[in-house]
């Protein structure tokens, strides 16, 4: 039920931004960015539940803690990148948004490289 309220809040904010954009485009962009931060702060407790579930799952599989850290970093990179991209789009800076996406993808690649290397070592070890 919390998600339905949050979606309703999003729709209300979208209408407010749309109406404000007709009067003052810059203020509409700032309102949109502020709203994005507010929504993120409301969603973070829900995301924490998912993170806790992932951690419990990995513990039940007896995997090392570094996998949890890698997954947590990847989720953080995705959330921060998406937030930055949306703010750039709301502020009518699509080129900057694309560069933010590129930076996020590079950061995600950097987070995933240790897992890729370990899986490759495991596969090569199995073939020998």
> Over the stretch 57-116, which tens digit does the pLDDT of each residue have?
877 877 666 777 888 889 889 988 998 898 888 777 889 999 999 999 999 999 989 888
Contact 100, 84 (CB under 8 A): yes
Q: Of 54, 96, 45, which is closest to residue 73 (Cα–Cα)?
A: 54
What's the whole-number mean pLDDT along residues 29-56?
Answer: 83
Q: How many domains does the chain have?
A: 1
**Domain range enclosing 57:** 2-127
CA distance 75 to 93: 24
Cβ neighbors of 36 (< 8 A, separation 6 or more) are: 83, 86, 87, 90
Long-range contacts of 55-63 (CB under 8 A, 24+ apart): none
């Amino acid at each position: 039920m919390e998600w339905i309220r949050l979606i309703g809040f999003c729709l209300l904010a979208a209408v407010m931004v749309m109406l404000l954009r007709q009067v003052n485009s810059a203020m509409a962009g700032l309102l949109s960015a502020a709203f994005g931060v507010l929504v993120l702060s409301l969603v973070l407790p829900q995301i924490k539940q998912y993170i806790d579930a992932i951690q419990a799952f990995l513990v039940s599989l007896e995997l090392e803690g570094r996998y949890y850290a890698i997954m947590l970093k990847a989720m953080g990179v995705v959330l921060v990148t998406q937030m930055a991209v949306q703010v750039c789009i709301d502020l009518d800076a699509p080129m900057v948004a694309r560069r933010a996406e590129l930076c996020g993808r590079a950061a995600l690649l950097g987070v995933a490289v240790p897992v890729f290397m370990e899986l490759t070592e495991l596969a090569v070890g199995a073939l020998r």
